Amino acid sequence: MQTSENKKLTNTQKGMKNCLFALLGLFLSLSVAANPHSDTASSGHDDQVHSEEAHNESHEEGFDAGQMIMHHIADAHEIHFLTWNAGTENESDLSIHLPVILWTNDGLKMFSSGHLYHNPVHADHGHAYQHENFIMYDEVIYYANEHGHLEFDEYGAVLNDAPLDLSITKTVVGLLLTSILILLIFLSVAKTYKRNPKEAPKGLQAWMEPLILFVRDDVVRPSVGEKKADKFMPFLLTVFFFIWIANLLGLMSFIGGYNVMGSMAVTMVLAILVFIITTYHGNKHYWMHIVWPSGVPFLIKLILVPIEVVQIFLKPIVLMIRLTANITAGHIIILAFTALIFIFGQSSAAAGYGVGAGSLIFMIFMFLIELLVAFLQAYVFTLLSAIYFGSAVEEAHH
């Protein structure tokens, strides 16, 4: 009797944890495609002949490290785990096709990205995927022109119009996972705090408290000043943990390799928020320092003021680029070591295994550094944001 009750209890706990995945399942039209996609989709379309060629061509080229790396760090409309029988007739993928949501000229359109990925078509520069009148090229969805094709200019840029792509892409999934994780962690931690306010921290709380205190005591308070720090704490704590957890998630390549903070769109939003908060809280001293720096000769003011004005915008842009570049660079290095194995493996299996052993050591080393970088970049972003906020609210000290 008691054991069954216990079992029930652990089951409900498990159920709570599974709730995360269930929620995800709702979001994603979970269609694990394990069927060979080269032959089945070929009925009826004229472009199919071309696509077949394009498809086979790409495999004859052999291993392209650059493309592989870019494919892994770029955003996609699917979460791709594995490919087997690569380059043969019955090539199969294990991937989750994510929902495509388009705000088109005719209103909202939703369909599974499986429709696209199962229907490759030929395009002038590499291969594309088509569903109805939408063509996806390099993971960007365009309207097909009146002939049902993509048009390129002489530099290879697509000329077609594009609908607003609100799809749940891989990055968005990573973003949502991060959001859910961070909410689960900190709402439960907050509950523990409310329950035993005067007890020593324990469990998850004991893991998070040093980090919260680190952000408060070593990042925000020294940069903003103790008095005004409280105002910025919620935002900076959220930014810190959001970046850190997203980075850690990105390191777990086996769950799909989300490159959330390596996506400029994500860091741009964070940087814009930093810019808005800095500008909103900027006091007289802050603006005077930019527009009319005191104690400086007039001619130097003429040079200094434009620089200061540009700096207002430059600061968040640098924040954005630094974060994206650091996270992306780390992924690229790890992927490059992986690519080495395949490049040497192409010439001979023995070379592949030999290089593989060496690469593995470097990959583990890089992975450990990436773990550090994941934290470090969250720290740097938070610290610099705090410093910008601090400069905005700093009182005149003369």
Partner 1 sequence: MVLINLLSAPAGTIIWTSVAFLIVAFLLKKMAWKPILKTLKDREEFIEESLKSAEDAKAQMSLLKADNEKLLAEARVEREKILKEAREMKESIISEAKKTATAEGDRLIATARQEIEKEKANAMSDIKKQVAALSVEIAEKILRSELDNPAKQQDIVEQHLNQSQLS
Q: Which residues of this protein are in contact with partner 1, per CB under 8 A?
A: 66-67, 70-71, 73-75, 101, 125-126, 138-140, 156-157, 164-169, 171-172, 175-176, 179, 182-183, 186-187, 189-190, 193-194, 197-198, 209, 212-213, 216, 230, 233-235, 237-238, 242, 263-266, 268-270, 273, 328
Please, which residue, 67 or 88, has the CB nearer to partner 1?
A: 67
Closest approach, Cβ 187 to partner 1, in A, equals: 6
**Considering beta carbons, is residue 7 or 125 the nearer one to partner 1?**
125
Nearer to partner 1, 237 or 378 (CB): 237
CB of 385 to partner 1, least distance (A): 13
Minimum distance between the CB of residue 84 and partner 1, rounded to whole angstroms?
A: 24
Minimum CB–partner distance for residue 63 and partner 1 (Å): 16
- Smallest gap from residue 235 Cβ to partner 1 (A): 6
Supply 359's token pair.
């690469």
Rounded to a whole number of angstroms, the minimum distance from the CB of residue 87 to partner 1 is 20
Residue 34 near residue 93 (C-beta atoms within 8 A): yes
The identity of residue 92, as a single letter, is S
* CB closer to partner 1, 216 vs 285: 216
Nearer Cβ to partner 1, position 168 or 341? 168
Q: Say if CB 178 and CB 242 are below 8 A apart.
A: yes
Tokens 């903003």 belong to which residue?
224
Q: How far apart are CA 284 and CA 78, in angstroms?
A: 49
Pick the closer one to partner 1 by CB: 272 or 290.
272
Sheet holding 127-131, edge to edge: 120-122, 127-131, 134-137, 140-143
When the beta carbons of 42 and 188 are compared against partner 1, the nearer one is 188
Q: How far is the CB of 89 from partner 1 (least distance, A)?
A: 27
Please, which residue, 46 or 61, has the CB nearer to partner 1?
A: 61
Give me the least distance between CB of 308 and partner 1, in Å please.
26
271 CB contacts (<8 Å, ≥6 apart)?
316, 317, 319, 320
